[in-house]
Amino acid sequence: MWSITRFTVVASFLLSAVVADSAAVEDPPLLPSQDPWYDQPENIASFSPGQLIRTRQVSSKLQPFFSSLPADISVESVHQYLFRTTDSIGDPVASVVTLIEPSNADPNKLLAYQAPYDSASPDCSPSYTIQDRNTLGFEGFKLPGTNISTDIPFVAAALNKRWWVLTTDYEGLDAQFTAGLQSGHATLDSIRVVLKEGPKVGLGVNPNYALWGYSGGALASGWAVELQPTYAPELTFAGAALGGLTPNISSVLETINNSSFTGLAFSGMYGQAKAYSNFSNWLETNLMPEKANKFWDAANSCLAGARDKGGGEDMYKYIRNGKASFLEPVPQSIFKYSGQMGIRGTPTVPLFVYKAVGDEVSPIEDTDALVEQYCAKGARVEYHRDWVGKHMSEAIAGSASALNWLSERMNGEEVDDKCSTKQVVLSELDPATLVTLGEELFAFLQSILGAIL
């Protein structure tokens, strides 16, 4: 049962939302940590995975950087659902998904876009940062020289194709960044709730649906497709596109020391500490006291802040016995249990996997090995290894190809029964993606890519 006080808070909040409807334009959204709409009910265990807890409609105006794109994006309505999912240790918890209806929507197409928000702060969740007049801006990797995240042009392109788009706070209400089980479960349960509730607001009853994610978003999508056969066997995805995948959290940690991505080691460790109490205790015992402030400052930031605050650090100086500490039983067990792909199952969903050979966040060998393992077990994978660029540039070059591949899946085109690996050289966008992206977004992304490479 909900406690009386919590119920009163939520009830008065809902009431004021109704009363203030016309004045709602005046009120910017509340941070998730301050917004009672996000409260998890005390009777969470009585909900089934993917069941709706509560819903609301938010402004159809998405955060302002959408409107700074050189293409019109017209959104009809935006709905949010708080739903039940399952966390990293199997307990019932709540999470949020945002469902976006484009103008003139095609009721039969639904894209589940997992954004790489990459933060252990709940206030950086996409359900908040995608809203108009939020104080942070849609989080994710920013296009150079702009405040536009790499996600925005691709979400815009999907909306322009008249696809319904959902984006999930897959890390959960307490933001367990890098926790594979939580992220995979919430991704799957977000599809469940949208398939059930979406038809009430215009989504078809039996749409084609596909998953897409890059980097942190690929972590969530990748764990989702591994867990799907056992956790959500009734779901039938048309496909899943996974870019800049991080199949092995241990090797990511080793790779990002002393780089512009080092701050993600701190927020990633904090995310795992939220998920597992033994790792939380280990971190508390092993974090060097004189480094703790700097660690928590980065770990509590959104992605851009964590990169600024932790960039270029020697992360091993933060932990008592340096690199040797990570080899102790607790971190080893957690990085494997919660951060190693390929041990929970083999995806039956057709996959498009794309990665820069020179990726400086997660070594290409890890993705090569995962794809090989999936294929040996009967998965259908089209794998593109891009010999140009790194993690950031591939988020643009490879994502354009991924959107094209997803478009074919949405249209019901079949994939090959077997796996294929293609060596690609994407020094510019594949011209085949022009039709999918539209001329304006194609030209925009092409110029950004030219500036990075």
Ligand X SMILES: *[C@@H]1O[C@H](CO)[C@@H](O)[C@H](O)[C@H]1NC(C)=O
Point out which residues bind ligand X (CB under 6 A): 89, 145-147, 248, 250-251, 254, 257-258, 276, 278, 314, 316, 323, 329-330, 333-334, 337, 340
Which C-beta is closer to ligand X: that of 142 or that of 385? 142
Q: Which is nearer to ligand X, 308 or 413 (CB)?
A: 308
Q: Could you tell me if 60 and 166 are in contact, meaning their C-beta atoms sit under 8 angstroms apart?
A: no
Q: Is 39 a catalytic residue?
A: no
Q: Give every strand in the sheet of 75-86, ordered side by side.
A: 52-58, 75-86, 92-102, 164-168, 109-114, 208-214, 239-243, 351-356, 381-386, 420-424
C-beta of 56: minimal distance to ligand X in Å?
27
Exactly one of 88, 149, 215, 362 is catalytic; which is it?
215
Q: Give Cα separations from 10 to 3, 42, 80, 185 (angstroms).
A: 11, 13, 16, 26
Minimum separation from the CB atom of position 448 to ligand X (A)? 13
Residue 79 appears among annotated catalytic residues = no
Rounded least distance, CB 250 to ligand X, Å: 4
Calpha distance 100→82 (Å, rounded): 15
Give the integer Cα–Cα distance in Å for 131 and 96. Answer: 14
Q: Which is nearer to ligand X, 41 or 140 (CB)?
A: 140
Which CB, 248 or 300, lies closer to ligand X?
248
Catalytic residue (one of 118, 391, 393, 399): 391
Neighbour-count burial for 230-267, b at 16+ CB within 10 Å, e otherwise: ebbeebebbbbbbbbbbbbbbbbbebbbebbbbbbbbb
Would residue 91 show up in a list of annotated catalytic residues for this protein?
no
The active-site residue out of 87, 151, 169, 359 is: 359
Q: How far is the CB of 43 from ligand X (least distance, A)?
A: 25
Q: Which is nearer to ligand X, 297 or 368 (CB)?
A: 368
Closest among 156, 157, 151, 225 to 188, alpha carbons compared: 225
For residues 245 and 365, the answer to whether their CB atoms sit within 8 Å is no
Q: Which of 402, 390, 408 is nearest to 429 (CA)?
A: 402
Burial label for 372, CB within 10 Å (0-12, 13-18, 19+), is: middle
Q: Smallest gap, in angstroms, from Cβ of residue 258 to ligand X?
A: 3
Query: Catalytic residue positions?
Result: 215, 359, 391
